[in-house]
């Protein structure tokens, strides 16, 4: 089902959802309204029966050029804490949606924009993509999870270097540090690649993917012992699913499985 918000657009084609950050005049910068829209969207979208979600920014120039600097200028400490808390809630809801979520990074992904992309499962990007956490150059610190999620992907040394210097990273370097999986000549090809990836994963059980995603996301926070407990529980849970019975039965009958996502 299509659904529009003041700052976001959501549409469905086939069984793929498309979420677009839509403030092109401000290079899709994240205002308080964007955060509220994203929370409302994510709380609603968790029940969507889609096989994957592609998250992108309107236009060709920017995915998201960061938190809205003009709006942040006038915040006091209390408002900034609230803004950060709501932003963190939004990224957590996005991170835990029960289907694959791909950030299609077209152009600038800076500050809060990179933090939004980090809350997705992974990033594919266009060749003109530029990444960075320039908060320190504005006298700020990353406030939407950047100090936590970046290091888990690129390692603590590289994350510190990027946050301390605030420097911009171009696409080849972003791929070499594991921040981006692959890149494409333009936005059209980028979206096609995201669709292709979701189509490949949608041949598998969305139920199994969702359970594995929860185990992966939760496990990253835990010791190996506690993470393995989550894996065991997930493994047990999946044994009562229709898709597990169908997938294994289909293998034995030498046919393709007909998954229902339950
Ligand atoms: N906020 C507001 N407006 C922005 C913006 C932003 N982040 N980025 C761009 N814009 C606006 C520009 O002001 C301009 O608007 P007009 O002047 O036309 O009204 C329009 O978008 C087009 O931008 P430019 O004219 O600057 O375009 P250029 O091609 O020349 O440059 C650029 C593109 C992306 C290099 C440049 O716009 C730029 O440097 N933008 C700012 C990038 C940046 O520093 N991003 C990080 C923001 S800090 C926290 C929560 C969150 C955060 C921190 C703390 N807590 C509450 C604790 C996160 C912080 C950030 O994200």
pLDDT (mean) for 185-191 = 97
CA max distance for the chain? 65
Distance between CA atoms of residues 41 and 236, nearest Å: 31
Ligand 1 touching residue 140 (CB < 6 A): yes
26 touches ligand 1 (CB under 6 Å): yes
pLDDT recorded at residue 194 = 98
Ligand 1: does its nearest atom lie under 6 Å from the Cβ of 63?
A: no
Q: Are 9 and 20 in contact (CB under 8 A)?
A: yes
Q: Is the pLDDT of residue 221 over 90?
A: no
- Residue 152's pLDDT band, with cuts at 50, 70 and 90, is very high
- Residue 107 CB–ligand 1 contact under 6 Å: no
Question: What pLDDT is attached to residue 2?
Answer: 86
Q: Could you tell which of 65, 112, 128, 140 is best to mutate to test the pocket of ligand 1, judged by most ligand atoms within 8 Å of the CB?
A: 65
Of the listed ranges 73-87, 123-137, 193-207, the least confidently predicted one is 73-87
Task: Report the alpha-carbon distance of residue 62 to residue 69 in Å, rounded.
Answer: 15
Instruction: Compute and round to an integer the Cα radius of gyration of the chain.
Output: 19
Reported as a pLDDT band with limits 50, 70 and 90, residue 1 is confident
Residue with tokens 């995201």: 194
| Number of other residues whose CB lies within 10 A of the CB of residue 234 | 19
Q: Token pair 């968790």 is at which residue?
A: 46
Can you read off the two tokens belonging to residue 159?
């994350």
- How much of the chain, in percent, has pLDDT values that exceed 90? 94
pLDDT of 158 strictly over 90: yes
Q: Domains in the chain, start-ordered, CATH in brackets?
A: 3-201 (3.90.226.10), 206-252 (1.10.12.10)
Pocket test for ligand 1, best of 35, 38, 69 (most atoms within 8 A of CB): 69
Q: Which long-range contacts (CB under 8 A, 24 or more apart) does 201-206 make?
A: 201/51, 201/52, 201/100, 202/15, 202/51, 202/52, 204/259, 205/241, 205/243, 205/244, 205/247, 205/257, 205/259, 205/261, 206/51, 206/99, 206/259, 206/261
Q: Which residues of 120-136 are buried (b: 16+ CB within 10 A; e: fewer)?
A: bbbbbbbebbbbbbbbe
**Contact of 146 with 119, CB cutoff 8 Å:** no
Active-site residue flag, 79:
no
What pLDDT score does 26 carry?
Answer: 97
Packing angle of the helix pair 242-252, 206-219 (nearest 10 deg): 120
d(CA 108, CA 131): 6
Is residue 135 predicted with pLDDT exceeding 90? yes
The verdict on the CB of residue 70 being under 6 Å from ligand 1 is yes
Residue (of 29, 168, 152, 42) closest to 97 by Cα position: 42
Q: Ligand 1, atom 27: nearest CA belongs to which residue? A: 27
What's the confidence (pLDDT) of residue 256?
A: 95
Cα 206 to ligand 1 centroid, rounded to whole Å: 37
Is 135 annotated in the active site? yes
Per-residue pLDDT tens digits for 223-235: 999 999 999 999 9
Average pLDDT over residues 81-105: 95
Nearest CA to ligand 1 atom 21: 26
Does the pLDDT value for residue 84 go beyond 90?
Answer: no
Confidence label for 209 from pLDDT (cuts 50, 70 and 90): very high
Query: pLDDT at residue 170 above 90?
Result: yes
Which whole number is the average pLDDT over 126-152?
96
What is the pLDDT confidence band of residue 160, given thresholds at 50, 70 and 90?
Answer: very high
What's the mean pLDDT when you consider all of the chain? 96
Q: Is 35 in the pocket of ligand 1 (CB under 6 A)?
A: no
Q: Looking at the CA of residue 61, tell me the nearest atom of ligand 1.
A: 29
- Check if 208 has its Cβ closer than 6 Å to any atom of ligand 1: no
Distance (Å, whole) CA 112 – CA 117: 9
30 has a pLDDT exceeding 90: yes
């Amino acid at each position: 089902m299509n659904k529009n918000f003041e700052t976001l657009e959501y549409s469905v084609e086939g069984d793929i959802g498309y979420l677009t950050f839509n403030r092109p005049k401000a290079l899709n910068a994240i205002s308080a309204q964007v955060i509220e829209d994203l929370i409302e969207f994510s709380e609603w979208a968790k029940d969507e029966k889609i096989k994957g979600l592609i998250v992108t920014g309107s236009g060709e120039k920017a995915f998201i050029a960061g938190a809205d600097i003009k709006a942040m200028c006038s915040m006091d400490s209390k408002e900034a804490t609230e803004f950060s808390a709501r932003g963190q809630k939004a990224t957590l809801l996005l991170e835990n949606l029960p289907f694959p979520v791909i950030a299609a990074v077209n152009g600038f992904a800076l500050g809060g924009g990179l933090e939004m992309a980090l809350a997705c499962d992974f990033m594919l990007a266009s060749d003109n993509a530029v990444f960075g956490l320039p908060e320190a150059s504005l006298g700020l610190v990353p406030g939407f999870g950047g100090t936590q999620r970046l290091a888990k992907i690129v390692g603590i040394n590289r994350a510190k270097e990027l946050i301390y210097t605030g420097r911009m990273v171009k696409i080849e370097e972003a791929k070499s540090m594991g921040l981006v999986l692959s890149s494409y000549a333009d936005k059209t090809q980028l979206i096609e690649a995201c669709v292709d990836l979701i189509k490949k994963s949608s041949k598998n059980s969305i139920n199994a993917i969702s359970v594995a995603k929860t185990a992966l996301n939760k496990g990253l926070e835990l010791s190996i012992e506690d993470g393995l407990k989550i894996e065991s529980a997930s493994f047990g849970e999946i044994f009562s699913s229709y898709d597990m019975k169908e997938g294994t039965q289909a293998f034995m009958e030498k046919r393709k499985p007909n998954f229902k996502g339950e």
